[in-house]
Amino acid sequence: MFSPSLHPTTKGETMRKLGVPVAAVLALGTLVACQGGGAAAGLSASDRAAVQKSIVDDAVAALAAKDFTAFANTYTSDAAYLPPNGPGLKGRDAMISFLSSFPPYSDFNAAAITIDGAGNVAYVQGTYSMMVTPPGASAPVKDEGKWVVTAKRQADGSWKATIGIFNSDLPIAPVPAPAK
């Protein structure tokens, strides 16, 4: 769910990539607003606690331990994972592959700021920080950013993430000047 912006991109490419996350957030808002046909009642305290455990605590512990299979298992099997500066991913295997090739990182921390939703749909918004060694770098750098995850209650009553997106608060690295 978290990654620094390691790949340079053009402003146009960035704007095109924003379309999918914006559509996902709008769709979630529509789903939450339409639950029950009136004003959303929000999540119960027990649902909020269950989402905190499965979507935040378990996922953060797995990422801190670099247990990418455990992290992917906090998501549904067909989940969308939307890392920055690259294509969206579909499913747990794609998430595991992406995370397994991620640059070395340490001191990973993440926290939820908001957990809310209605009925069988929830969303979590939070922040993260870590030390990461980008490709070609001689030393790690501090990265911090934000993330949003949507989740659905499963048939067994558990909560699983369905869409995860994250991005760094740091500016994108400048594109090197062309060789002359």
Residue type, 111: A
Going from the N-terminus, what domains does the chain have, and what CATH number goes with each? 11-168 (3.10.450.50)
Give per-residue pLDDT as tens, 62-106.
Answer: 999 999 999 999 999 999 999 998 899 999 999 999 999 999 999
| pLDDT (mean) for 38-55 | 86
Beta bridge partners of 163: 80, 150
pLDDT of 159 above 90:
yes
**pLDDT score at 35:** 42
Sheet holding 159-168, edge to edge: 89-90, 75-82, 159-168, 141-153, 121-132, 105-118
Neighbours of 110 (CB within 10 A): 23
More confident residue, 22 or 118: 118
pLDDT of 123 above 50:
yes
**pLDDT score at 152:** 98
